[in-house]
Structure 1
Amino acid sequence: MSDRFDCMVCGEICVDLPMRTVDRRLPLEQMETVRIDPICPGVGGIVSNSGLVMARLGLRVGAFGYVGDDPWSDLVKAAFENGGLDTSYVLVHPQEATSATAVIVGDDAEHSFIYHSGASRCFDKNTALDHLDLFERTQYALFGYYHLMPNMEDDLPEVLKQVQETGCKTALDTAGGGGNLQPLDRCLPYLDFYIPSYSEGLSQTGYTDPKEMISAYRNFAPNALLGIKLGDKGALLSADANHWLDVAPVTPPGRVVDTTGAGDSFYAGLITGLCNGLDLNAAAGLASATGACCVTQVGAIAGIKTYEETLQMSQI
């Protein structure tokens, strides 16, 4: 097998414990006992969500990050291997527990997270730069999550710069509410792609208009593909300061059950499209269709279809 990768997904690896359905409108102190569906542990985080989606869509994808030396790590590695992810760069931390998230899913299919950062927070500058040769063999590197990388955030601009210098294209995803524009402003010059959600863009820029959000990022990233994910309204992308692309939403091929991982799936679809030689319009359509498939099942992966099926959905 080739030692080259279409994409290396770097950073957050966690176990997801989905808990549904919970009335998220009630305060916790009013929820003494809540009856829910069976809890079926799965995997989450950017590495799991985007990585497994890209693998299902046919890319050669590697996972790069930390798990703990505990039983959860066995679940993670098995899920990755069964899903077609290369686990050669899934590192085991001897002291920290595998990161874990309780995903509280409401009857509106939206969610809240209860999160322990664990081993994933140990992914730092040295971890990345000690493996620079990996990026020399990789077309795209997707890092995440900004605002949940405490040991990497200050050094992230340097890491992205050195990864870019290997010839690998860089992308960054955001979580945890989005945080602030600093130190993101120092990362943006070394990103080829940055597409946060609307709420993350609002937190980072203070603007309510997606075009103004993107323009704020453009001050620091003149040559990047920038955008804002708009949920069921699609997305707005901008390849440069003079061009805007409204990405239409794709109707989900089933009832909306759980929106967990939809943004990660959008990123995965976009990168997959570009790796397959699609132009930006078509790749963005594939991204929208991938996100639409994601929300029809619990978790980020179960609803994803093949590349051919998803591409056909995007062209309807």
Structure 2
Amino acid sequence: MFDVSCIGILVADVIAKPVDKIPDKGLLNLISGISLHSGGCAMSAAVDMSILGIKAAILGKVGNDSFGEFLKSVLESNNVDTDGLCVDKKTQTSASVVLSDSQGERTFLHCTGANGTFSKDDINWDVIEKSKVVFVAGTFLMDTFDGAHCASVLKRCKQMGKTTVLDTAWDSKGRWMDVLEQCMPYIDYFLPSIEEAMALSQKQIPEEIAKEFFDKGVSKVAIKLGSKGCYLQDGKNKKPVIVPPYKVQAVDTTGAGDSFCAGFITALVKGMSFTECGYFANAVGAHCVSALGATTGIKPMDDILAFMEAKK
């Protein structure tokens, strides 16, 4: 049995740091380090949740290449179940070059790769059946899964009695609600960033944004506000709560949003209240940005709780 199945993208991240200026064409700048890390919304969240102490499985697709082998080895070394991981022999593993500046902010160059061929036909329903929560991570980056395929999978998960959670990525194609609206009636917990939430709703104020999502069928909303914490609303007619962030020195913000989702879902599985989930998610996010890489800074749940207690 699994606490959560993570459906979504896996990415090999090649991180260059610090990159405060892009050299002109034909020129070279020296930097202090280039390293290979696991990334992608579903992968990072699954690894984070396993480190935090709950049982996670992943459903996604990689290529038949060294990046794919690397990602699978990271998952297995972190005790994430890979029975739902497909290998596409015709497409390379998704990869990003991440340019991280001195402040930890990132710029990406991304190859969609195998994530772009993942579809509902690749879903291992035996894995879903064994899970309490189903988390879709990386919407807008899975061309053959987003939209109708995602909606049908979420609908079936709801019919199976699973709790559904969804997080989005930035939609560089600008489709937004045209893709996601059909999924919303089947989302129990919606966890977008404020930037994504504004683009989806065409609203600027969190209360108005959340109302838009509730009107389209979402049950509960948690909007990531970055350095301002998170906005929580436990239903359309419920009073919203702003949960403040934990102040830490940011080293690298890679995977921050995914770690928030991992923390939120872990707290949910452990029976915490909706507001407590927000606080715990913020604390996990704070640990994430304190180290280089998407999952490096994550610690077991007891350590996160001790950090939260010390910050009171």
TM-score range, shorter chain: over 0.9
Contact 1:198 1:230 in 2 (8 A): yes
- Displacement of 1:225 in angstroms is 1.4
Which residue is equivalent to 2:7? 10
User: How many residues align structurally?
Assistant: 306
Q: AA paired with 1:35?
A: L
Match of 1:56 among 27, 32, 51: 51
Q: AA paired with 1:281?
A: T
Match of 2:247 among 247, 251, 269: 251
Alignment of 1:59-138 (within 5 A): 59-128=54-123, 131-138=124-131
CA distance in 2, matches of 1:33, 1:79: 32
- The yes-or-no answer on 1:269 pairing with 2:239 is no
Which sections of structure 2, spanning at least 5 residues, go unmatched? none
Farther off after superposition, 28-37 or 8-17: 28-37
Which residue is equivalent to 2:32? 37
CA distance in 1, matches of 2:145, 2:90: 18
Q: Alpha-carbon deviations, 1:160-193, whole Å to 9, x = none? A: 1012211111111111347411121111100111
Structure 1 residues 200 and 300: CA distance shift in structure 2, 3 A: same
Contact 1:10 1:46 in 2 (8 A): no
Match of 1:306 among 300, 306, 309: 300
Q: Alpha-carbon deviations, 1:41-60, whole Å to 9, x = none? A: 11100122111110000011
Structure 1 residues 89 and 304: CA distance shift in structure 2, 3 A: same
CA distance in 2, matches of 1:170, 1:16: 27
Alignment of 1:167-186 (within 5 A): 167-177=161-171, 179=174, 180-186=176-182
Alignment of 1:12-31 (within 5 A): 12-23=9-20, 29=24
Q: AA paired with 1:156?
A: C
Query: 1:40 aligns to what SS in structure 2?
Result: strand
- Displacement of 1:300 in angstroms is 1.4
Contact 1:123 1:152 in 2 (8 A): yes
- Displacement of 1:31 in angstroms is 7.9
- Displacement of 1:33 in angstroms is 1.6
Contact 1:288 1:314 in 2 (8 A): no
Q: Alpha-carbon deviations, 1:257-293, whole Å to 9, x = none? A: 1111111101100110111111122221110100000
CA distance in 2, matches of 1:307, 1:194: 23
- The yes-or-no answer on 1:139 pairing with 2:135 is no
Match of 2:291 among 297, 300, 310: 297
- The yes-or-no answer on 1:236 pairing with 2:231 is yes
CA RMSD for the aligned pairs? 1.6
Structure 1 residues 159 and 37: CA distance shift in structure 2, 3 A: same
Q: AA paired with 2:291?
A: Q
CA distance in 2, matches of 1:256, 1:30: 30
Contact 1:135 1:166 in 2 (8 A): no
Query: 1:102 aligns to what SS in structure 2?
Result: strand
CA distance in 1, matches of 2:135, 2:31: 34
Q: AA paired with 1:100?
A: A
Farther off after superposition, 208-217 or 175-184: 175-184
Query: 1:183 aligns to what SS in structure 2?
Result: helix
- The yes-or-no answer on 1:217 pairing with 2:213 is yes
- Displacement of 1:67 in angstroms is 0.9
CA distance in 1, matches of 2:32, 2:183: 41
Contact 2:62 2:87 in 1 (8 A): yes
Write out the 4+ residue segments of structure 1 that deviate beyond 6 Å after TM superposition.
none
CA distance in 2, matches of 1:133, 1:164: 15
Structure 1 residues 139 and 31: CA distance shift in structure 2, 3 A: farther
CA distance in 2, matches of 1:284, 1:135: 25
> TM-score normalised to the size of structure 1?
0.92
- Displacement of 1:38 in angstroms is 2.3
- Displacement of 1:206 in angstroms is 1.6
Query: 2:192 aligns to what SS in structure 1?
Result: coil
CA distance in 1, matches of 2:223, 2:170: 16
Contact 1:250 1:313 in 2 (8 A): no
Query: 1:98 aligns to what SS in structure 2?
Result: coil
Q: AA paired with 2:2?
A: F
CA distance in 2, matches of 1:214, 1:272: 23
CA distance in 2, matches of 1:29, 1:185: 42
